[in-house]
Amino acid sequence: MKKTGRNALRFMAIAAVSILAFASCAGAPAVKRETGKSYYLTVLHTNDHHGTVLPNGGAAGLAERATFIKTVRAGAPNVLLIDAGDINTGSALSNMFKGEIDIKAYNMMGYDAVALGNHEFDSDLATLEGQMAMSAFPWLSANVKRADGSYLAKPYVIKNYEGFRVGIFGITTLRTLEIASPDKSLTFVSEIETGNEMVETLRTKEKCDVVIALAHLGFVKEAEGQVTSKEFAEKVAGVDLIVDGHSHTLLKAPEYVNGTPIVSANEWGKYVGDGTFEIVDGTVKSFTWKAEQINAKDSQTYKGDAEVAAMIAPYKEKADATLKEVVARTADKFEFGDRLSRKKEIALGDMVNDAAMWYVTSVMGKKADFAFTNGGNIRTELPKGDITREQITTVLPFDNWVYLTVMKGSSVIRLFEYIASIPQGAGAWAQMSAEARYTIDYTGPDGKGALKDLTIGGKGVDPDALYTVVTNDYLMGGGDGYKVLADNVSAYNTSTTLRDIVIAYAQEKKELVPATDGRITIIGGMTF
């Protein structure tokens, strides 16, 4: 590991208890320490929380996370608690209150700093500024600036401990300009250029012994030109730790690049990264790290903290009441029958995918060519009459995030060839948006489906053109055999569930009329 210590300078600093401060004065004095003595810093970190207020599938939960953090603090003298961004956009409970629950819980847990992720820019600037105002912790981003050149958030913070000083700076991916909706007045500056400036400032001006980057960059390259945390480490020297966010990566051990450890703790608070620095004479001597799982489906190690749970309770009660809220009317029943979404085009499948296209193009303002989902994602009918949030939640019970992925036409053709090969009745059998039309012929000698007459937007698929596909995270991960989706140019998780999108679509339309339009034609047998 790279050693990045500073020479000790004489000065009486505040000892024992860490103090959070944004240092703006030049020539900050070094902290007091004993020569040759080992000092220790525990770094707890999360990333890509995405509104996971309550446990998801038995894992995570803000109250449960709080219990783990209290446990660590009880046994460690110096604890730094940080988050690499994307608190926002996820569960309906969090979305309903615009992240207020999450921020209150972060306040109660005593977070020291949180980076601005791309999903912090999903709403307007006033909403983000309101969130920042209610936060007891500082938001960090050194490469996002206002029109007048000032920082939107703090570029960095300083933490003084007995024996050493820590500087933490934030970096927000420039992908935000493409995949979110930042205010037009904001400017995003080069991540690498900014990183080098921050290291120089923290090392020389602020005299920090330990420098940590809260980097909402991503461990995995989504698109050409994206700076990942690994590329950041290659080109920015003098960082002792990069805490990564954005790609939801779960690391089992730190990955060292150019001598700098990079860590990431998956998503939704299912894990908390737990690292320890040993610092001697202002120099990092060692770093150890693990990802601590916050419960699982079959085991609960950390019970919910009573205070945080009590804070969440009234919000949940109010949200539960809204499940009975009528969001639209249906002109007639949307049939489901004996799992017809796995066998033929149905009105419910059409509506769900048309809703996804509406959200991406009209709400997000992004280009998209077609949307599809697996029929097994749709679980029951919608009756005729008033439709509630609860009924749509029953139709779409899974927390499936909607993804945008860009694929070459040749890969899109292979995608539809796979779709045609899926046996009727299988959960992988696809439902499609109106932009895509195709025929599946089951009359061949082997009885397997063959693809015919594929068009997108009324035209045949150009193998060399690029197409933006809207689908869900389960299929993007290769679920139901959709491995072809890995052959993409770029991919982006909107961190909005398909269920929430359909609810918003229903509210927009007010009346839903069940109908099919022949986007999927079947020749030959039908499984019932």
Residues 353 and 408 in one domain: yes
Q: Give me the domain span that covers residue 513.
A: 327-523
Residue 214 lies in a domain: yes
| Amino acid at residue number 312 | I
Residues 277 and 364 in one domain: no
pLDDT at 19: 35
Residues 252 and 373 in one domain: no
pLDDT at 22: 37
Residues 388 and 257 in one domain: no
Residues 251 and 351 in one domain: no
- Residue 375 CA to residue 368 CA, distance in Å, equals 21
Residue 18 lies in a domain: no
SS3 per residue for 28-45: CCCCCCCCCCEEEEEEEE
Match 């609960």 to its residue by tokens: 300
pLDDT in tens, the chain (528 residues): 433 333 332 222 223 333 333 333 345 677 899 999 999 999 999 999 999 999 988 999 999 999 999 999 999 999 999 999 999 988 888 988 999 999 999 999 999 999 999 999 988 999 999 999 999 999 999 999 999 999 999 999 999 999 999 999 999 999 999 888 899 999 999 999 999 999 999 999 999 999 999 999 999 887 788 999 999 999 999 999 999 999 889 999 999 999 999 999 999 999 999 999 999 999 999 999 999 999 998 999 999 999 999 999 999 999 999 888 999 999 999 999 988 999 999 999 999 999 999 999 999 999 999 999 999 999 899 999 999 998 998 899 888 899 999 999 999 999 999 999 998 888 899 999 999 999 999 998 887 899 999 999 999 999 999 999 999 999 999 988 899 999 999 999 998 999 999 999 999 999 999 999 999 999 986 654
Residues 262 and 384 in one domain: no
- Residue 151 CA to residue 146 CA, distance in Å, equals 6
Question: In 3D, which of 3, 77, 8 has the Cα closest to residue 281?
Answer: 8
Residue 238 lies in a domain: yes
- Residue 371 CA to residue 456 CA, distance in Å, equals 11
- Residue 16 CA to residue 429 CA, distance in Å, equals 61
Question: Would you give the DSSP letter of residue 120?
Answer: G
Residues 409 and 291 in one domain: no
pLDDT at 223: 76
H/E stretch holding 348 reads helix 347-358
**CATH number reported for the structural domain that contains residue 440 in this entry:** 3.90.780.10
User: Which pTM value belongs to this model?
Assistant: 0.77
Examine the fold and report which residue of 298, 318, 342 is the final residue of a domain before the chain moves on. Answer: 298
Residues 78 and 124 in one domain: yes
Residues 257 and 383 in one domain: no
Residue 63 lies in a domain: yes
Examine the fold and report which residue of 277, 298, 319 is the final residue of a domain before the chain moves on. Answer: 298
| Amino acid at residue number 453 | D
pLDDT at 527: 52
Residue 317 lies in a domain: no
Residues 396 and 503 in one domain: yes
Residue 131 lies in a domain: yes
List C-alpha distances in Å: 387 to 254, 362, 379, 396.
48, 23, 16, 14
SS3 per residue for 477-523: CCHHHCHHHHCCCEEEEEEEEHHHHHHHHHHHHCEECCCCCCCEEEE
The number of folded domains in the chain is: 2
Examine the fold and report which residue of 252, 283, 298 is the final residue of a domain before the chain moves on. Answer: 298
- Residue 279 CA to residue 166 CA, distance in Å, equals 11
Number of other residues whose CB lies within 10 A of the CB of residue 92: 18
Residue 383 lies in a domain: yes
Q: Following DSSP, what letter does each residue of 455-480 receive, concatenated?
A: EETTB---TTSEEEEEEEHHHHTTGG
Residues 6+ apart with CB under 8 A from 526: 343, 344, 424
101 backbone dihedrals φ, ψ, rounded to 5°: -60, -45
- Residue 271 CA to residue 291 CA, distance in Å, equals 6
List C-alpha distances in Å: 246 to 60, 134, 323, 368, 519.
18, 23, 30, 22, 35
**CATH number reported for the structural domain that contains residue 152 in this entry:** 3.60.21.10
Residues 369 and 254 in one domain: no
Question: In 3D, which of 493, 475, 466 has the Cα closest to residue 364?
Answer: 493
Residues 256 and 373 in one domain: no
| Amino acid at residue number 66 | A
Decide the pairing of beta strands 156-161 and 19-21.
Answer: antiparallel
Residue 306 lies in a domain: no
List C-alpha distances in Å: 348 to 184, 332, 345, 351, 503.
38, 11, 9, 5, 13
